[in-house]
Amino acid sequence: MNIAIIGASGYTGLELIKILINHPKFNITYIANSTGEINVQELHPCLKDVINITVENADAKEVSKVADLAFLALPHKTSMAFAKELLKEGVKVVDLSADYRLELDTYEKHYCAHEDKENINDAVYGLPEYYKQNLKEAILVANPGCYPTASLLALLPFVDFIQEETPIFIDAKSGVSGAGKKLAETTHFCHINENIHAYNPLAHRHMPEIEEKVRLVKNKEFSINFVPHLIPVTRGMLVSVYATLKEEIDVESILEEAYKNSEFVRIRKTPVDIKSTAGTNFCDIFVKRNGKALFINSSIDNLLRGASSQAVVNANLMCGYEEGLGIPKIAYVP
Amino acid sequence: MNIAIIGASGYTGLELIKILINHPKFNITYIANSTGEINVQELHPCLKDVINITVENADAKEVSKVADLAFLALPHKTSMAFAKELLKEGVKVVDLSADYRLELDTYEKHYCAHEDKENINDAVYGLPEYYKQNLKEAILVANPGCYPTASLLALLPFVDFIQEETPIFIDAKSGVSGAGKKLAETTHFCHINENIHAYNPLAHRHMPEIEEKVRLVKNKEFSINFVPHLIPVTRGMLVSVYATLKEEIDVESILEEAYKNSEFVRIRKTPVDIKSTAGTNFCDIFVKRNGKALFINSSIDNLLRGASSQAVVNANLMCGYEEGLGIPKIAYVP
Amino acid sequence: MNIAIIGASGYTGLELIKILINHPKFNITYIANSTGEINVQELHPCLKDVINITVENADAKEVSKVADLAFLALPHKTSMAFAKELLKEGVKVVDLSADYRLELDTYEKHYCAHEDKENINDAVYGLPEYYKQNLKEAILVANPGCYPTASLLALLPFVDFIQEETPIFIDAKSGVSGAGKKLAETTHFCHINENIHAYNPLAHRHMPEIEEKVRLVKNKEFSINFVPHLIPVTRGMLVSVYATLKEEIDVESILEEAYKNSEFVRIRKTPVDIKSTAGTNFCDIFVKRNGKALFINSSIDNLLRGASSQAVVNANLMCGYEEGLGIPKIAYVP
Amino acid sequence: MNIAIIGASGYTGLELIKILINHPKFNITYIANSTGEINVQELHPCLKDVINITVENADAKEVSKVADLAFLALPHKTSMAFAKELLKEGVKVVDLSADYRLELDTYEKHYCAHEDKENINDAVYGLPEYYKQNLKEAILVANPGCYPTASLLALLPFVDFIQEETPIFIDAKSGVSGAGKKLAETTHFCHINENIHAYNPLAHRHMPEIEEKVRLVKNKEFSINFVPHLIPVTRGMLVSVYATLKEEIDVESILEEAYKNSEFVRIRKTPVDIKSTAGTNFCDIFVKRNGKALFINSSIDNLLRGASSQAVVNANLMCGYEEGLGIPKIAYVP
């Protein structure tokens, strides 16, 4: 199947290209970027002698002539405008931005006015472990945020056993690639190196995304308190969920049961690290409790499971392929 | 005043030397190490042309002839045996090991049988903000662990306002120097670099130390749930305390009030980072809440405030000097 | 074709497994390690749910029953003893140790007495750009050292144009994985992090390897002066060759011409970096001169082009497959 | 003596403040920055509770009222205009920019037209080991570049013994703080981390600075070929000089002799590392040869010996104080 990648200059665009080059079914026929017509090797010198394709200025009609599905790695707001056009042309869309992730109200409260009210309600949230059936029939998929992916995969199996009146805390640590390529004081090497700090504590836009999905999947309301950090690594994400159980239950069994059929969730017997998942689509999870105090610990590659490889998994499901077709499983360790 | 440093080859021994070289009142007259007689420059090549002194084999009688106070940077158990001898010889002791930090029962449960039951009850816990008066009269000071220092300074001001029945969670991140110099898979560069992971979650020996001190200082029992992490930086420590408030109170004012007279606690208006305290004795603290969900965020240099500079502050107090005499305040930024 | 991997616990063993899992022609039938019988996932937790095979105690006869070619990722000396046995059993060998890289005299001078004088003269040096024809007929291949690979690919095209009486200098920088997994002060995180230093300057064992190969390939004797460094990255290698030209020639053209048919050498127009080759078998090269002063700059992944992927390229050639079959070309950037 | 710091927001401005806060003779009376009137703690949050002073808009007349000497940590060109005004007002100047480092011709060839031809010829090059007598009488000092400092201290003792007709190569590695605070692709964390690359090879503006000073100090012309690199550390600099000797001489003795009276040059018996000098004004040097091939290896802190602490040494000499007064000697190790 022919596919297009719209937005190729960022980290997630590059990861999409790298996965799709070797995918046994998907065939890249169109790459677009706001830089206009240059060779993709100029955007990403690491692709020299690997792929040779000219980048276009994005045009929905042109996409529809050469591709059946498009991955959108565009900024918020830009994305919904272009997705709308593509859907009108009959092109399936996997959108990596936040534009279709939330219910309309939540979106407009935390982002801006929505420009594609026609399609937002039909978007399927692309967390395969919880939305697989819907994904198989989707024409528009909202690829989850990186933090919500790791947080929800850790938290959802335990929601029924957690005290509803006590706050849930999520302490999350992300590699700097999660902040994107744009230049900022907070991505300067000398700021990040030998440092660590929280940012937007209890105020990050992924907090309502997690709350909403817990409510939609489990029909329960919780106070989710989310504190993200930047750590001095390029990629990888570690999430620690802290909650209070109703009773002193067997948390390992609950976790094993929840993911016994999941190809891309691995249950670990020791605390997870980010190196074992970096480079792959796996989410590793470890759980432990002390009395009623619950600690769930998950790890993903923020650019892959948190963005590009999960997008390709979603595309696989939308197109009737095996979930794991062409999806990276081999970590970059060491 | 003449002082001795017993245990000079590790990171905290080196930091003691570096602070004491420039201290206006303390004079290093004796350095001991199990390596036996070598020049301290052989132990630490960075001290070439900075200090020129021969390291001795530790001998309590010899110490008592040339020094009035000794800093012990020795492993657990080794330390209490030597402290006992020094005290008998009339030498004041600041012990950087865990040997005198806990009540006898707690110590023997989490470490081993105690060898100095004579002195353990007289040891003063060296957290100056909460034990200043006792420290002024102490002859034996137990220097706190690095994690308890950062955790207690964050938590103690809020203890009276936290729900007692709900667990408190502490997510702590430490630079690798906290693991010491000994060679281990977990301190190999390729293991730590581009990685992050928890270790001993809900089972670390600093957890009972925090619980005990909260009980002793505030007369309250809490379930403290402590999860430490190694991060890919050499020094620095970030602690996040998560707790549930009884009521929606003004947390900033409580924090300001608690430390208004503290020379070495700085209240921050934005999340703390480790670079601003690394190289100093400061503890930076930030606090924020979301409804009753409380987030307290503290940062210290694990080798200084978490060990060697706090030890010298304690020695200052024991000897009647100003708390801040000769204590580092200038961070290594950038 | 069925293949065996002997020595699976180190970094190069892991990289061999990772490449060969997805190789379209080679099939892993045997993995051995001195740990004895355990699942390979216990050796390398990152392989959980990726490959499931029991590790054996190495036995040459057993290898010969299930495999036609073996990769040896063993320490020096251990390797030649086992290679000898395998060759006797008719198994082809790609040896990643130093045991067959040098002429007998050079080897015995810099390593130890050689135990397989029978086969050493038949070993082919596995640098495909210069030994391709011999490799196609080889039954024993000596995989080059990582430093010699990057140094020779940079230097060899210019040897005829360099003044023979003036020393050539090679300043090389390697990621820490090049030092292997064993624990040492020099691989402790706190030693490497925020640091850089040379080691064994003008005395490293890869220096005679480079000198010998220049002599054998180009029939010229040079004074090669090699200074390797450890840098605070896990993988990747940068080599700078400094030499004096006989005349002010067009160095870019010479380089382009030398590698115009090479699939895995990329000529760069700007100084090379290690990120663009890390994760791949590429060697990137840049050249510039100032008068007669020549600077040649090359970059490889020390574990791949410097060890495991080059080993698989050699195996491809030995078995009549395309040089690039199953060989990684996609860098890990960012 | 009262001093002013002009240009306080950059890395070298901060380092000047940090050294001068504790200097026994210099007293900071004036800090200026283009940000205009804010508290210096807003520029540098790490200075909270350390120094409390309002930053001014730079004004030469105001400086002359409150200070006798000014440190200029300003960009090229900006600096010479302001230095000129200060000198007219009778204020001594230590200029950390490049504006007075070179002879007029060299400067104008590599930078721009010079705006202070009146004073440029009176400027003394602030490398104390080679210009001490002139510095004692200077009213305008040009603080050397970081690369030239480390390169010249390594190279100058050997100039008389090096073949003049063969090129000298300098392979230099700098921490990223050397690139300053400004945002650029090449200082983004994800670009630098796990990477290393040369920049401006054989074309950096410090190359003519080194050539000129070799000529002026030793009256010899050499082809200096300089290749700088950015390495993934914040601070520190390692320089390797490669040259060809006329004869096989005793290089260790030459080095020892050259610096036997130098307080801030330490001769090392093993290759130097950057951690042992980072945080100090020391330059560590190691030398080795292989036949006539010479390798000289030096290390400095790029922000201290390469900028701010060397500036204060120069000020000490200009004011008749001891060279080492208030100068940092204690490395930040670990």
- Give the model's confidence band at C190: pLDDT under 50 very low, under 70 low, under 90 confident, else very high: very high
Tell me which residue of A156, A65, A142, A160 sits closest to A106, measured CA to CA. A142
Interface test with D, best of A189, A197, A233, A302 (most D CBs within 10 A): A189
Of A171, A197, A225, the CB nearest to B272: A197
Are residues D137 and D21 part of one domain? yes
User: Are the Cβ atoms of D330 and B22 closer than 8 angstroms?
Assistant: yes
Residue C334 has pLDDT above 90, yes or no: yes
Across the interface, do D225 and C290 touch by the CB < 8 Å criterion?
Answer: yes
Q: What is the DSSP annotation of A280-309? A: SS-EEEEEEEETTEEEEEEEE-TTTTTTHH
Strands, sheet with D69-72, edge to edge from the N-terminal-most edge strand? D27-32, D2-6, D69-72, D92-95, D140-142, D124-125
Same domain, A7 and A138: yes
Region B195-205 average pLDDT:
97
Q: Cα A76 to the chain's mean position, in Å?
A: 14
pLDDT above 90 coverage of chain B, percent: 99
Within a domain: A334:
no
Size (chain D), residues:
334
Decide if D184 touches A, using CB distance below 8 A: yes
Based on the fold, state whether residues D173 and D127 are members of the same structural domain: no
- Shortest alpha-carbon distance between residue B331 and chain D (Å): 6
Q: Are residues C98 and C216 in the same domain?
A: no
- Strand boundaries in chain C, DSSP class E: 2-6, 27-32, 69-72, 92-95, 124-125, 140-142, 168-174, 197-198, 224-230, 237-244, 265-267, 283-290, 293-300
User: Does residue D36 carry a pLDDT above 90?
Assistant: no
Q: Are residues D19 and D105 in the same domain?
A: yes
Which residues does chain C have within 8 Å of residue B176's beta carbon, measured at their own beta carbons? Answer: 189-190, 193
Token pair of D298, please?
């030096």
Dihedral, CA atoms, B173, B176, B182, B187, nearest 10 degrees?
A: 100
State the pLDDT at residue D294.
98
pLDDT of C36 reads: 83
Chains that touch C (3 or more CB pairs under 8 A): A, B, D
pLDDT per position as a tens digit, C17-52: 999 999 999 999 999 999 989 999 999 999 999 999
C64 with C93: CB under 8 angstroms?
A: no
Segment C141-172, tens digit of pLDDT: 999 999 999 999 999 999 999 999 999 999 99
Q: Which residues of D touch A234 (CB under 8 A)?
A: 189-190, 193-194
Q: Are residues C210 and C72 in the same domain?
A: no
pLDDT digits (tens, 9 = 90+) for D47-102: 999 999 999 999 999 999 999 999 999 999 899 999 999 999 999 999 999 999 99
Is D274 close to C197, i.e. CB distance below 8 A? yes
- Name which of A201, A233, A244 is nearest B194 (Cβ-Cβ): A233
Can you give the residue range of the structural domain that contains A172? 147-300
Question: Residues B295, B240: contact at Cβ < 8 Å?
Answer: yes
SS3 of chain D: helix, strand, coil, percent, to 5: 35, 20, 45
Are A243 and B165 in contact by the 8 Å Cβ rule? The answer is no
From the candidates C146, C190, C283, C319, which is the catalytic residue? C146
* Secondary structure tally for chain C: helices H, strands E: 12, 13
Give the residue among C238, C240, C222 at the shortest CA–CA distance from C295.
C240
CA-CA distance, C195 to A117, in Å (whole number)? 54
Nearest to C234 among B176, B187, B194 (CB): B194
**Out of B112, B146, B190, B319, which one is annotated catalytic?**
B146
Q: At what angle do helices B11-21 and B308-318 cross, to 10 degrees?
A: 50
Write the CB contacts of B182 (distance below 8 Å, at least 6 apart in sequence). Answer: none
Could you tell me if residue D324 is inside a domain? no
CA distance B83 to D205: 59
Ordered alpha helix ranges (H), chain D: 11-21, 40-43, 60-66, 78-88, 104-110, 117-120, 128-136, 146-155, 189-192, 206-218, 251-258, 308-318
Task: Report the neighbours of B using a cutoff of 3 or more CB pairs below 8 angstroms.
Answer: A, C, D
Q: Does C187 touch chain D (CB under 8 A)?
A: no
Cβ atoms of residues D146 and D237 within 8 Å: yes
Q: What is the mean pLDDT of residues B29-51?
A: 96
For tokens 């990289």, the residue is: C15
CB of B330 less than 8 A from some CB of A: no
Burial of A171 (0-12, 13-18, 19+ CB in 10 A): buried
CATH number, domain containing residue C238: 3.30.360.10
- Residue C245 CB neighbour total at 10 angstroms: 18
Chain A residue at shortest CA distance from B193: A233
The secondary structure of residue D123, as a DSSP letter, is P
Structural domain tally of chain C?
A: 2
Is A38 inside a domain boundary? Answer: yes
Neighbours of A (≥3 Cβ pairs closer than 8 A)?
B, C, D
**What does the alpha-carbon distance between residue C71 and residue C90 come to, in Å, rounded to a whole number?**
14
Kindly report the average pLDDT of chain B as a whole number. 97
Residue from D202, D170, D162 nearest D293 by CA? D162
- One-letter amino acid for residue B173 of the chain: K
CATH number at residue C86: 3.40.50.720
Asked if D45 lies within 8 A of B276 by C-beta distance, the reply is yes
Q: What is the mean pLDDT of residues B254-277?
A: 98
Active site (annotated) includes residue C146: yes
Residues of A whose CB is below 8 A from C18: 330
Q: What residue of B is the nearest CA neighbor of C175?
A: B190
Q: Are residues A139 and A166 in the same domain?
A: no
Residues of chain B with Cβ-Cβ distance to C191 below 8 Å are 189
D114: Cβ–Cβ under 8 A, 6 or more apart, which residues?
D80, D99, D104, D107, D108, D120
Give, in degrees to the nearest 5, the angle at Cα C207 between C204 and C210.
150
For residue D189, pLDDT over 90 is answered with yes
Is there a contact between D14 and B334 if contact means CB atoms under 8 Å apart?
A: yes
Is residue D325 domain-resident? Answer: no
Domain shared by D112 and D190, yes or no: no
B21 interface with D at CB cutoff 8 Å: yes
Please tell me whether residues D133 and D81 are part of one structural domain.
Answer: yes
In a domain, B326, yes or no: no
Question: pTM higher than 0.90 for the full model?
Answer: yes
Which residues have CB under 8 Å from D305's CB, separation 6+?
Answer: D146, D149, D150, D264, D277, D280, D281, D282, D283
CB contact under 8 A, B46 and D329: no
Residues in chain C: 334
**Whose structure tokens read 């450890």?**
C230
Inspect the interface and report whether the beta carbons of A49 and C282 lie closer than 8 Å.
Answer: yes
Query: Any idea what DSSP says for residue A26?
Result: -
- Dist CA D233 CA C5 (whole Å): 37
Of all residues in chain C, the one with the smallest CA distance to B190 is C234
**CB-based contacts of B250: which residues, under 8 Å, 6+ apart?**
none
In a domain, C331, yes or no: no
Give the pLDDT band (50/70/90) at residue A218: very high
**Does C227 lie at the interface with D, CB-CB under 8 angstroms?**
yes
DSSP three-state, residue B286: strand
Q: Are C295 and C153 in the same domain?
A: yes
* CA A248 – CA D247 distance, rounded (Å): 80
Of A187, A194, A233, the CB nearest to D188: A187
Express the helix, strand and coil content of chain C in percent, nearest 5 each. Answer: 35, 20, 45
**Do B138 and B21 sit in the same domain of this protein?**
yes
In a domain, B227, yes or no: yes
- In sequence order, the 6+-apart residues with CB closer than 8 A to the CB of C84 are C115, C116, C118, C119
CA nearest B239 in A: which residue? A197
Do both A97 and A187 map to the same domain?
A: no
Parallel, antiparallel, or unpaired: how do β-strands A224-230 and A197-198 relate? antiparallel
How distant, in Å, are the alpha carbons of C275, C277, C305, D55, D156 from that of A49?
A: 15, 12, 16, 53, 45
Average pLDDT over every residue of A159-183 = 97
Rounded-to-integer distance, Cα D128 and Cα D314, Å: 7
User: Residue C171: which of D171, D191, D193 has the nearest Cβ?
Assistant: D171
> Does residue A36 carry a pLDDT above 90?
no
Q: What is the ipTM of this complex?
A: 0.97
Measured between beta carbons, the chain C residues lying within 8 angstroms of B188 are: 181, 183, 187-189
Angle between helices D128-136 and D308-318 (to 10 degrees): 40
Q: Is there a domain that residue C326 lies in?
A: no
